[in-house]
Amino acid sequence: MTTLTKKPLAEFLLLTLFNCATASQVFGDTPLGWINNNTMSAYTTTQGELEISGSIHAVNEAIDFLDIREDLFANNQRLVGKSGDLDGTRFEAHYGITNYLSVFARQRQHELTVDLGDIASVNLVDISNSLDTTQQEIGLKWTLYEANLLEPDNRRTALSLQLTGYENETDDFDVVLDRIDLDNFTVFFTDPTTFAVSNMEDEGWTSRLLYTQSLADLGIGSLWLGYGESSATSGTSTNAVNGTVRRLFTQEFELEESYYYLGASINFNIKPRLVANLSYEYIYIADTEFSREPAVPPTQLPGFLSASGTTEEDGNHTLSARLSYWLTPQISASLSGNLYSNQFLGVLPHYNNPLGESFSTVPYGFIGGELAFRF
């Protein structure tokens, strides 16, 4: 009788210890159901834990739920066809070095369709149809303060500092032609000649101070403020043999900007496996220094190669929403949506180029799907 009593008790204790160890491994120092990837908060990834995710995002005629593409056409007479369509991917990884320090890396790629259609002043041989951009970020998050450590499901109060460095680059946008009409004469090229929007890249850094705490039964809320700086370049170029033509069509743009960030988010469990996140951030461009060479653009430039390179807008309201479902304790699947009041203003500084600048002050957005793994 004694043996029969002790055996189930021993099995119960072993099972309890196993469950506790598993729960600790899966959720560690982060709240139940929490997803660090693509989430702004003061929580760091649990020590020794690796979280990776991959996602796709898009907008096109079929999923243009806010008529974003129509706004692009209305504000830019040069754009036709599928302009405004976007196809992209994102990969992200977070790793916990200690319970107070974690590192992360992100890479995003997208193709933003830019269909210029027919250009009256040139005879087109070939033309690019998209801005193909790669974004890369690395950073760290360091917990400065913690409180309320006995909150249920690890929903503690935390204050953290996040530092991020980034660089973005877009492939050249090429226009190949064999004739171009200038103000008083026409130039014919024996061999098709390439004119391009080129040297589109930027680099910068951001710092954010994040505060997170439990909101009773509502979920977990976060607030943050930050500061950042960036340096961007772009220009126009040609491989024309004629030196006069090269000088007419060669421009260089440089843009230095500083930013302030203010944001808030809420994360809550709708059901035990179903998690929702809403996030808002305002990006304010505090200071802008723009220069171009030559200082006065050539009057002969066709419209698709001429732009001021700057905009009067100085802010961007960004909103994101995500709904995630845990397929297992280690795997989650998500649907998300992202909206920008001024497209990629303050997000991709090098879009000050002659193509991107012309539609950078219109609302934009896309939806996405994500699969995340926790090890």
Q: What is the mean pLDDT of residues 2-31?
A: 45
Least confident segment among 113-122, 187-196, 341-350:
113-122
The model's confidence at residue 170, banded by pLDDT at 50, 70 and 90, is very high
Domain enclosing residue 110, as ranges: 40-374
The model's confidence at residue 4, banded by pLDDT at 50, 70 and 90, is very low
Q: Would you say residue 216 lies in a domain?
A: yes
- Predicted local distance difference test score (pLDDT) of residue 83: 75
The one-letter amino acid code at 2 reads: T
Q: What is the mean pLDDT of residues 343-363?
A: 80
Q: Would you say residue 196 lies in a domain?
A: yes
The model's confidence at residue 79, banded by pLDDT at 50, 70 and 90, is low
Domain total of the chain: 1
- Give the domain CATH number at 180: 2.40.128.130
Question: What is the DSSP track for 130-183?
Answer: EEEEEEEEEEEEEEEEEE-TTSGGG--EEEEEEEEEEEEEE--EEEEEEEEE-S
Alpha helices in 28-78 (DSSP H): 68-75
Q: What is the mean pLDDT of residues 301-329?
A: 80
- Predicted local distance difference test score (pLDDT) of residue 17: 42
Q: Would you say residue 149 lies in a domain?
A: yes
Q: Would you say residue 31 lies in a domain?
A: no
Q: Would you say residue 304 lies in a domain?
A: yes
- Decide if 131 contacts 360 (C-beta within 8 A): no
Distance CA 187, CA 189 (A): 7
| Residue 16 in this model has a pLDDT that exceeds 70 | no
Q: Would you say residue 8 lies in a domain?
A: no
Report in angstroms the alpha-carbon separations of 12 from 2, 26, 56, 186, 308.
16, 21, 44, 89, 72
Q: Would you say residue 14 lies in a domain?
A: no
List, for residues 339-349, the tens digit of each pLDDT value: 998 888 899 99
List, for residues 285-297, the tens digit of each pLDDT value: 999 898 888 877 6
Q: Record the pTM.
A: 0.84
Q: Would you say residue 211 lies in a domain?
A: yes
Q: What is the mean pLDDT of residues 80-90?
A: 83
